[in-house]
Amino acid sequence: MKPAGLIRVSALVVATAFNIAGAPAATPAKVLGSTALALAGVIAPLSPDLSGAEKKAVAMLFAANSDIPYKKPIVVTADRIVCRAGNVDITTRNCEVTFGKKVRTVNGSTANEIFATEAQAGVPSDGAAGSNFESLSKLSCTIDPNAIRRKDGSGADCTFQPGN
């Protein structure tokens, strides 16, 4: 292939990696098993959409207690999660978790748990002046206590869109 052909192929590859607005095209992601349970486990306590019984069930499952009275599948959702960790001001840790029109802001260890769990789930990190960011949107996790009780690795799955 001649150098000019390489340039055209490279331009085509770059062009297909970006959507019309010029931002990278994000591929929906799916995580299963322990990573999905962890992602649901750090978001469920913040959710205004879950009942107290559902929050307690997710917390018990996340704490390695599969012998729970709750039997129905639990769906943990969030419209958007944006976390920031400072790399200059190393005390900075916060996440904004959006549920519809409600935004919950958490700091410190709770934000760190969410940030670390997003990384475990494969959410890419992005840097800006003095900070590292991770974000996702359209989170939907289904936790099935009956399947988790079987201890065969099933019962938890999440889908999300990496980035905003």
**C-beta of residue 83 within 8 angstroms of C-beta of residue 133:** yes
Model confidence band, residue 27 (pLDDT cutoffs 50, 70, 90):
confident
pLDDT in tens, 6-26: 443 333 333 333 333 444 556
**C-beta of residue 98 within 8 angstroms of C-beta of residue 48:** no
Domain spans in the chain, listed from the N-terminal domain onward? 35-162
Sign of the C-alpha dihedral, residues 41, 43, 44, 45? positive
User: Token digits for 1?
Assistant: 């292939």
Burial class of residue 61 in the structure, from the number of CB atoms within 10 Å of its CB (0-12 exposed, 13-18 middle, 19+ buried): buried
**C-beta of residue 30 within 8 angstroms of C-beta of residue 159:** yes
pTM of the model: 0.81
pLDDT in tens, 70-106: 999 999 999 999 999 998 999 999 999 999 999 999 9
